């Protein structure tokens, strides 16, 4: 349930209320807004009825939370959450782009990709250092060296970094190099990993599993948020259906549904959803038109030579086209595309 506090309650009264609720064995999660302070109560609350809670000093209102997902719901936080990836905001008014290669292939290549990412105005560089591949014989990534190259390239061009973490044991390494930790579709229900990510204080990009319902996706976000890490970004990347013309079926309807149900930012990954280069930009346009807070795409200087996911990677000139088209769509729907300033002399 949600306890809405009296905004005029003295700090000592609020502190006493928090201590009393904590002593009753309930986990407390704070929600703040303009003139709004509330405590979300998760778990059993021994010895209290709703009427008891309403009579406590400092309490203005007690609201049962109807959704099975508590902390991610708009009941818990009515206004949109803006997650900061390094210095880059995701959510709110702006539409934020993330781009880069599927895999970090070499130091030289990722530096060139970072240069092109910044030149296109994209503020967040993506790249995989640990790659979960269907085949055990496929390129698995450069590991820590890949993360180091990714960080160095991003710093050289003023970009934030997102990369996929596959195992809880990798988290300390990612905290050193990465601004946004991505949980891939295959790990959406890796609850031991999600619990550990709830203990850290860096944002999480949570991709939807290929056969996951929206409800299951929300519950995965709850695992992270229940640990105290409220900076979660949801990423729609297509679901598995009977259709074989594309890799997955991009669920554009999920975007407005999510925006209605949750305060968390929602972005789209059209590259993995469609798996076909010339279909990526149309899907990105659809996602932003539907209300997505951002888009993450793959591009490469020579997709035909890429070590992974070449067929879906845009060419650099297509990334520029994507930025121009999403800028226009953002303006039409009353938003703006958040762009990194082009480097001097570009």
Question: Residue 35: what pLDDT?
Answer: 63
Question: Residue 204: what pLDDT?
Answer: 98
Domain boundaries, given as residue ranges, for the chain = 2-63, 83-338
Question: Residue 67: what pLDDT?
Answer: 65
Q: Are 253 and 297 in contact (CB under 8 A)?
A: no
Q: What is the mean pLDDT of residues 142-157?
A: 96
CA–CA distances in Å: residue 2 to residues 25, 26, 105 = 16, 12, 48
Radius of gyration of the chain (CA): 21
Angle between the N-to-C axes of helices 107-119 and 144-156, in degrees from 0 to 180, rounded to the nearest 10? 40
Reported confidence tier of residue 345, pLDDT bands at 50, 70, 90: very low
Question: Residue 237: what pLDDT?
Answer: 97
Per-residue pLDDT tens for 203-259? 999 999 999 999 999 999 999 998 889 999 999 999 999 999 889 999 999 999 999
CB atoms within 10 A of CB 225: 26
Of the chain, the percentage scoring pLDDT greater than 90 comes to 69
Per-residue pLDDT tens for 76-116? 888 899 999 999 999 999 999 999 999 999 999 999 999 99
Question: Residue 2: what pLDDT?
Answer: 76
Domain 2-63: CATH superfamily is Phospho-2-dehydro-3-deoxyheptonate aldolase; domain 1 (3.30.70.1140)
Per-residue pLDDT tens for 15-68? 888 888 888 877 777 777 666 677 877 766 667 777 888 888 888 877 766 666
DSSP per-residue letters across 3-54: EEEPTTS-HHHHHHHHHHHHHTT-EEEEEEETTEEEEEEES--TT--HHHHH
Question: Residue 346: what pLDDT?
Answer: 44
Q: Which two tokens stand for residue 135?
A: 């085949």
Reported confidence tier of residue 342, pLDDT bands at 50, 70, 90: low
Of the two residues 342 and 274, the one the predictor is more confident about is: 274
* Residue showing tokens 């609201």: 63
Q: What is the mean pLDDT of residues 135-144?
A: 80
Lowest mean pLDDT: which of 76-85, 114-123, 296-305, 335-344? 335-344
Lowest mean pLDDT: which of 31-45, 135-149, 152-166, 239-253? 31-45
Question: Residue 41: what pLDDT?
Answer: 76
Per-residue pLDDT tens for 66-79? 666 788 988 888 88
Could you tell me the pTM of the whole model?
0.86
* Residue showing tokens 């469609």: 274
Q: Which two tokens stand for residue 212?
A: 């996951």
Per-residue pLDDT tens for 184-206? 999 999 999 999 999 999 999 99
CA 200 to chain centre: 15
Backbone angles phi, psi at 325, to 5 degrees: -70, -40
In CATH, the number for domain 83-338 is: 3.20.20.70
Q: What is the mean pLDDT of residues 310-327?
A: 96
Q: Looking at the DSSP assignment, which residues form a beta bridge with residue 239?
A: 249
Residue count (the chain): 346
CB atoms within 10 A of CB 188: 24
Question: Residue 326: what pLDDT?
Answer: 98
């Amino acid at each position: 349930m949600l306890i809405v506090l009296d905004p005029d309650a003295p700090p000592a009264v609020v502190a006493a209320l928090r201590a009393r609720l904590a002593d009753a064995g309930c986990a407390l999660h704070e929600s703040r807004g303009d003139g709004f302070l509330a405590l979300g109560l998760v778990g059993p609350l021994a010895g209290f009825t709703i009427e008891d809670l309403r009579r406590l000093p400092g309490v203005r209102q007690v609201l049962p939370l109807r959704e099975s997902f508590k902390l991610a719901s708009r009941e818990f936080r009515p206004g949109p959450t803006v997650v900061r990836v390094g210095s880059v905001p995701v959510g709110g008014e702006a539409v934020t782009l993330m781009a880069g290669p599927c895999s970090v292939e070499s130091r030289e290549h990722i530096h060139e990709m970072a240069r092109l990412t910044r030149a296109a105005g994209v503020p967040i560089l993506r790249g995989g250092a640990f790659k979960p591949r269907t085949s055990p014989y496929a390129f698995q990534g450069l590991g820590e060296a890949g993360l180091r190259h990714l960080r160095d390239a991003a710093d050289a061009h003023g970009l934030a970094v997102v990369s996929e973490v596959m195992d809880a044991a990798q988290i300390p390494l990612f905290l050193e190099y990465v601004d946004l930790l991505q949980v891939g579709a295959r790990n959406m229900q890796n609850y031991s990993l999600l619990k550990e990510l709830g203990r850290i204080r860096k944002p999480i990009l949570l991709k939807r599993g290929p056969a996951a319902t929206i409800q299951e996706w929300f519950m995965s976000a709850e695992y992270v948020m229940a640990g105290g890490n409220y900076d979660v970004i949801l990423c729609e990347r297509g679901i598995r259906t009977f259709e074989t013309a594309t890799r997955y079926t991009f669920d554009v309807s999920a975007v407005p549904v999510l925006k209605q149900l949750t305060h968390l930012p929602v972005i789209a990954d059209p590259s993995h959803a469609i798996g076909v280069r010339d279909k990526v930009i149309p899907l990105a346009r659809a996602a932003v038109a539907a209300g997505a807070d951002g888009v993450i795409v793959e591009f490469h200087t020579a997709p035909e030579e890429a070590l992974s996911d070449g067929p879906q990677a845009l060419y650099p000139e297509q990334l520029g086209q994507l930025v121009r088209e999403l800028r226009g769509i953002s303006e039409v729907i009353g938003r703006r595309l958040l762009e990194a300033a082009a480097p001097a002399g570009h």
